[in-house]
Each structure stands twice: as C-alpha cells, then as structure tokens.
Structure 1
Amino acid sequence: MPVRHTPPPPNLDVDLLRAFATLVDTGSFTRTGELLGRTQSAVSVQIKRLEDLVGARLCDRSGRSVVPTPAGEQLLGYARRILSINDEAVGRLVMPPVRGTVRLGTAEEFASQFLADILAEFTRSFPTVTPEITVDSSAVLQSGVEAGLFDLVLVKHVPGEDPGTTIWREPLHWVAKADWVDVMEGPVPLAVSPAPCLYRRFMLAALGQMGRSWEIRCTSAAVSALQAAVVAGLGVTALARSTILPGMRVLTPDEGFPTLPDSSIALVSRFGAATPAAERLMRFILDRMAIPHMSGIRRVK
C-alpha cells in the first residue's frame, strides 16, 4: 500500500513574529516601522502575511491603538518564546557577545514575585551582562528613569494612563486581620505607603466616594511592613491578591469597601536609545512574562 504522508505544518517566519510582537508592544504600525526600520505599509503587509499563515485575525485596529485579538493573545506567548530562543542562539553563535551593566529598578511586588527566576535565567543565558538592581517605591523609580538614573524600571501603573508596557496584572483587594470588625461610625484605620503611592490613591479615592472617614495608623513603603501591620490588627490596607497572607481576610463591597482597580506592573525604559545590554534584558523580561506560568495570577489582556 502506498504510504500517505501528512503535509508538514507551516513554519512561522521569525521576521513576521517580530513585527507582530513589536506591534503589540507599541500599539502603532508607525512606531513599529520606526523600530524595525520598515515603512508602515511594510509592517501592515507582514501582519497580513502572518494572519494568512495562521488563519486568524491577530490584531484589532478599531481603537486608537492596535491591540491583539484573542487569537493574537494566544500567539503572542509563543512568538515571544520563539524570538527569545532565536535571539539567544544568534547572540551566542553569530553576534559578538553583549557586555555591560544594566541599571534595573523594580517595585517590591515584582521583585518578590518573579525577579529572582527571571534574573537567574538571564545571567545563565547572558553571563557578560550584569544587572544592577535597585528596589524602591514606584514613584522614586519612575522619577529615576525619567532622569536617566535607570535603564529600565518595573513600576506600579495605571494602564492607558501611565507610560510603559503592562506585563503583569492581578486583582487588588482590601484586606484586614481575620477577626477585624468594622466600626461603621468610626474612621477606617489604614496602613498605607507614603504618597504618591498608587494603592494609597486608590484607597483614599474609594473611601471618599463612599463618604467614609479614615485615619492613617501605619505608613511604610515596604509591603512586608504593611502585611505585618494588617496581621497585627493595626489597620486595613490594599494588597495584590498574591501578597495576601494567612491571618488576613478580604473585605467586600457588601461590607462597605468598594472594588479597587487591578494591581498592574509596567516595564518602562529610559528616554532615548537603549544600550544593547538594556535592550537584551528588556526583551528577555517581556518574553518571559508572556509565558503563561510566569505571567502572574491574571494574564495581561
């Protein structure tokens, strides 16, 4: 009997995947073309070729910026992984090794969740690049990257309002000690970070909308200190879901605590052309955070 051979699946072109991933990062065909050295129409043709190849629409062009469709979201994780492996192989075998120091600032929330694994893998892949890490408040880091003191920062932000590429998002909850009881006629005792902390802003705005009075019982820029204050019963705070500890409970809208905006972390680079080392680390972080098991409690949409 003749042997029937199943035709092989199509190969995904690396150049098309790079155009697609860059378009998702920038939200703009024009900006993507500038970064890749192509015209806007050439980028559009590349995206159309990729859509024809996978048989699905990958980008929604109806809004002010281009965003991935559900099929595009699904492809994006694979695209970043393929690009990461391609670039690592080229970097090791073809291009001269990238050397230098990258000044990376990070908010505590991201450092405690993901940074150790990402940096361990990065230093194994690129041993001649040295990350120099600073953990500080998002406000300090944002000012620092704008002043050129950092190459990259990972900061809390409001998607669509603040600069940067959102790489991690999860629910933000009001929390208190497990046996805490709200005395409705009194002010809400709060444990907060110093202004202009984003979570502090969210909490005070929500309480103001509800007409609730409040008083600050604990102030600290360290998440661990706020966690300790809550467990000790000193006050109520807002924590990303993954940082809620045993001995705490989530406060609900039925108890008078409105739903808060999500907790989001963005990757922001300094103004101007990035150094080769900073560009390599930036791409590495974006690639790793696109992998499902590294992308937090909720995938970025």
Structure 2
Amino acid sequence: MKTPLDLRLLATFVQVARSGSISAAALQVGRTQSAVTMQMQKLEQLCGQGLLHRGGTGVRLTSGGERLLDYAERMLSIHDEAVSAFSSDGLRGTIVYGSPEDYLIAFFPTLLKSFGRMHPDVEIRVVAAPTDQLRKLLHLKQIDIGLVSVPTWTEADDIVRTEPLVWVGWQPTLALHNFGAVLPLALSASNTMDHKAACDAMARAGLRYRISQASNSLAGLIGVTRSGLAISVMTEKAVPPDLHILGAPLPPLPSLGVEIAYPEVEPSAATRAFGNHIRQLLPSL
C-alpha cells in the first residue's frame, strides 16, 4: 500500500470499530450511513484487504482491521497533539467522559467549568453509568476517560481521592424511621461496591435487613429515601441537603477510591489534558 491514508477515513474507521455499528458511527461523525459505508469501502481498497465483518447485528473487525485500529488510534492521537502544539487557539477535539451519576452531580460541574475556561474548543460528551459498565465501555474504547470507583486498598496509581460511603435517611436518626426489626434498604445493583459494602456491614453487625428497592439511578435512590420507605447508601458528597447521614446503631461503611481510568490506547492531547485537570482539581473539591 503506497497511497497515503486519509486521516478522515481513519477517524471514521475508529468510530465504527468502537461502536460496532455503521449507523452509530454515522451519527457520531455527522454523516449518512451510506457515506460511512462508502468511506469504509474506500479504506479497504486502500489497504488491499477487508477490515470489517458485516452482519445483521452490526460489524466487527477482521484481523487486518484489528491491526489497522492500533495504527489509526496512534496516528490520530499524534495528529491531535501536533495540531494542539502548533495552534495558537489551544486544544481542540471531542472527549467522551464516563462517570457514575453521583460523581457527575458532585464533581463534574466544577471540573467542566474550569476546564472549559481554559480549553473552550474541547467538546466533552458525558456517559453516566456504574463503574462495572464504565469498565466495559473503556475496554470497548467507547469512552475516552472514566472516573471509576475502586476499593481503597487497591494499589492504583490513578486514585485521586477517597469518598466515604454513608447511610442516608429522611429522618436524622434511625429510630425515628420506625422500621421495626428488619431494616428496608434501597441500594444500587447487587454487583456494585456500595451494595456489597452495605450488605457486608449489616451482616457483620448482625442486623436484619431486606432489599426493598434496587436501582442504579441516584435519582431513584434519593426518591425512595425521601419517601421514608427505606434507607439508602450513597457517597457522602452526593447526599442532598434535605436528607440525613445516619450513624449508630448502623455499622460503619468503607470509603471508595476514585480512580482515573483510560482505554488501552494512547489518549488524545485533549483527553490527557482533561485527565491532568481532574487529577489536580478533584482532591480539593
């Protein structure tokens, strides 16, 4: 292959690879589905081999496509870095940022406002999801950077702060809730760290409980707690001012580590700058 590769074709190819869908990639790059299909056919002609397996449920990469994806991501990252280095206008580009809902509510407005003042030409798109889903999206390279939860005993270089888990109720003490001997809990899904931490703490304390509500939506947990039908577990920063953090006789809960996570690709200059901004600002929020 002697014909130079068009970076626009490579950028579209990366979106197709990340989304696993021609139609989804078309929405992301602002082109029609047929235009993206033609771009992929042209790229395959330039490379002299098929890059995509096309099926009824989407597309997946051939072995040649996997090889090209690695080159394409590195080329686009270096291109963005070079443009930023020699541009008087500063950083440009789009970042897809993933975070649990409670961290979005507690931290993202301040992070976005301060970063946006410095880099107004960087667009940040937001994906709200629990940590386990964010890790899947990172693995699939569908988000560029994520703020995820890890156990505090984890040896991770990118832990930037710790966030306490707390019991939350609509009354200032547990006794005022009049729940009786079996405590109703409103928790996130069973595979999340806060759910497991709450159940483990109740078991160690020998307290009887039942899961009355399960939701990965922070708004849902807040709504149930406000109704007075259950107590919930949240990160301390996410507790609304009209609800109360509860203490004894409820057992203590652990803290979570907050970690910056990236896909296994070279981040763009804009993504690196946003990650560094989070690292510098988040500990003080």
Q: Same fold (TM over 0.5)?
A: yes
Change (3 A) 1:103 1:169: same
- State how far apart, in whole Å, the 2-side matches of 1:142 and 1:110 are: 15
1:207 maps onto 2:202 in alignment: yes
Percent identity (aligned): 20
- Residue 141 of structure 1: how far off its partner (Å): 0.8
- State how far apart, in whole Å, the 1-side matches of 2:265 and 2:254 are: 31
Listed one character per residue, the Cα deviations across residues 233-269 of structure 1 (whole Å, up to 9, x for unaligned) are 111111222333355333323x1x2110014322111
Aligned to 2:95: 102
Change (3 A) 1:94 1:194: closer
Aligned to 1:235: 230
Structure 2: tracts of 5 or more residues without a match: 1-81
Whether contact under 8 Å (2:152, 2:255) holds in the other structure is no
- Residue 93 of structure 1: how far off its partner (Å): 10
Listed one character per residue, the Cα deviations across residues 91-120 of structure 1 (whole Å, up to 9, x for unaligned) are 999643433211110111121112112212
1:138 maps onto 2:121 in alignment: no
Whether contact under 8 Å (1:218, 1:234) holds in the other structure is no
- State how far apart, in whole Å, the 1-side matches of 2:116 and 2:240 are: 31
Whether contact under 8 Å (2:165, 2:235) holds in the other structure is yes
Change (3 A) 1:100 1:94: closer
- Residue 175 of structure 1: how far off its partner (Å): 2.1
User: Matches of residues 1-301 of structure 1 in structure 2 within 5 Å?
Assistant: 95-96=86-87, 97-161=90-154, 165-178=158-171, 179-184=176-181, 187-253=182-248, 255=249, 257-290=250-283, 295-296=284-285
- State how far apart, in whole Å, the 1-side matches of 2:128 and 2:270 are: 20
Aligned to 1:57: none
- State how far apart, in whole Å, the 2-side matches of 1:162 and 1:95 are: 37
- Residue 167 of structure 1: how far off its partner (Å): 2.3
What TM-score, normalized by structure 2, do the two folds share?
Answer: 0.62
Q: 3-state SS of the aligned residue for 1:173?
A: strand
- Residue 128 of structure 1: how far off its partner (Å): 2.7
Whether contact under 8 Å (1:104, 1:150) holds in the other structure is yes
Change (3 A) 1:285 1:92: farther
Q: 3-state SS of the aligned residue for 2:177?
A: coil
- State how far apart, in whole Å, the 1-side matches of 2:262 and 2:146 are: 6
- Residue 152 of structure 1: how far off its partner (Å): 0.5
- State how far apart, in whole Å, the 1-side matches of 2:156 and 2:137 are: 14
Whether contact under 8 Å (1:191, 1:230) holds in the other structure is yes
| Count of aligned pairs between the two proteins | 198
What TM-score, normalized by structure 1, do the two folds share?
Answer: 0.59
Whether contact under 8 Å (1:191, 1:218) holds in the other structure is yes
Change (3 A) 1:167 1:203: same
Listed one character per residue, the Cα deviations across residues 259-283 of structure 1 (whole Å, up to 9, x for unaligned) are 1001432211111321112111111
Instruction: Provide runs of 4+ in structure 1 moved above 6 Å.
Output: 91-94
- State how far apart, in whole Å, the 2-side matches of 1:159 and 1:262 are: 7
Structure 1: tracts of 5 or more residues without a match: 1-90, 297-301
Structure 1 letter corresponding to 2:195 = R
- State how far apart, in whole Å, the 1-side matches of 2:219 and 2:161 are: 20
- Residue 164 of structure 1: how far off its partner (Å): 6.0
Q: 3-state SS of the aligned residue for 2:151?
A: coil
Whether contact under 8 Å (1:174, 1:238) holds in the other structure is yes
Structure 2 letter corresponding to 1:115 = F
Whether contact under 8 Å (2:84, 2:91) holds in the other structure is no
User: Alignment RMSD, CA only?
Assistant: 2.5
- State how far apart, in whole Å, the 1-side matches of 2:178 and 2:242 are: 14
